[in-house]
Amino acid sequence: ETGVTQSPTHLIKTRGQQVTLRCSSQSGHNTVSWYQQALGQGPQFIFQYYREEENGRGNFPPRFSGLQFPNYSSELNVNALELDDSALYLCASSLTTNTYNEQFFGPGTRLTVL
């Protein structure tokens, strides 16, 4: 069984640019959540996708957007990059949106904004 994978592993962008991060969920999982982990902080919830629809959002501006595809893989898009967007972005998949279903995390994509 393949776990959660993310690409790319590292990315360097400049302020104002746009970026797309990708996540493949674990087999059989229809729910994907994205988290941002700034340096020295715990991960913070960005949003969640369930069966191709956004299913809740954290305190992040609209320039953070996402997609989920029919195979349940997902993308995180960030427009108009700011220096503070530099962080590790973690994707997590779960069997459903139920609380008792564990979220399985990918290795993350480290984004650096210069």
Partner 1 sequence: AQSVTQLGSHVSVSEGALVLLRCNYSSSVPPYLFWYVQYPNQGLQLLLKYTTGATLVKGINGFEAEFKKSETSFHLTKPSAHMSDAAEYFCAVSETTSGTYKYIFGTGTRLKVLA
Cα separation values, 98 from 29, 31, 75, 101, Å = 12, 10, 22, 6
Rounded CA separation 95/10 (Å): 27
Which of residues 7, 14, 101, 112 is near partner 1 by CB under 8 A? Answer: 101
Which residues 1-60 are close enough to bind partner 1 by CB under 8 A? Answer: 31, 33, 35, 40-45, 48, 55-58
- Of the two residues 71 and 98, which places its CB atom closer to partner 1 in the complex? 98
| CA–CA gap between residue 28 and residue 91 (Å, rounded) | 16
* Residue 48 CB, nearest approach to partner 1 (Å): 6
Task: Assess 105 for contact with partner 1 (CB under 8 A).
Answer: yes
Q: Measured from the CB of residue 14, what is the shortest distance to partner 1 in angstroms?
A: 22
Structure tokens at 47: 């949003």
Cα distance between residue 60 and residue 103, in whole Å: 20
Residue numbers 81-100 binding partner 1 by CB under 8 A: 90, 92, 94, 97-100
Cβ atoms within 10 Å, residue 36: 22
Residues in contact with partner 1 by CB under 8 A are 31, 33, 35, 40-45, 48, 55-58, 90, 92, 94, 97-108, 110
